[in-house]
């Protein structure tokens, strides 16, 4: 799945997924993408929703109340704070 998302979003290294889009009060699959230097890559709504849904559905055991980062090179899913602390996406 990580390889498919990386192909869908050229230059992406990290996908941050959550159930809350900033500025909205209701749950909705949401994703942000970062390159290898931690710079934000713009996504259109369809890309963001599709990628977020894929990750959320592939990890039904995760509590999605917090954001998680998917490393697109390794396929590793980690809590967003833990990944940022190791030098990953911002």
Q: What is the pLDDT of residues 21-66, one digit of tens each?
A: 777 777 889 999 999 999 999 999 999 999 999 999 999 999 888 9
34-43 long-range contacts, Cβ below 8 Å, gap at least 24?
A: 34/89, 34/90, 35/11, 38/14, 38/88, 38/89, 38/90, 41/9, 41/11, 41/12, 43/9
What pLDDT score was predicted for residue 85?
43
């Amino acid at each position: 799945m990580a390889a498919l998302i990386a192909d869908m979003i050229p230059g992406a290294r990290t996908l941050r997924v959550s159930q809350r889009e900033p500025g909205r009060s209701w749950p909705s699959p949401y994703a942000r993408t970062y390159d290898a230097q931690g710079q934000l890559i713009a996504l259109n709504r369809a890309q963001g929703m599709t990628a977020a849904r894929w990750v959320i559905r592939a990890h039904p055991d995760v509590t999605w109340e917090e954001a998680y980062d998917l490393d697109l090179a390794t396929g590793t899913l980690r809590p967003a704070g833990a990944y940022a602390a190791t030098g990953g996406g911002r």
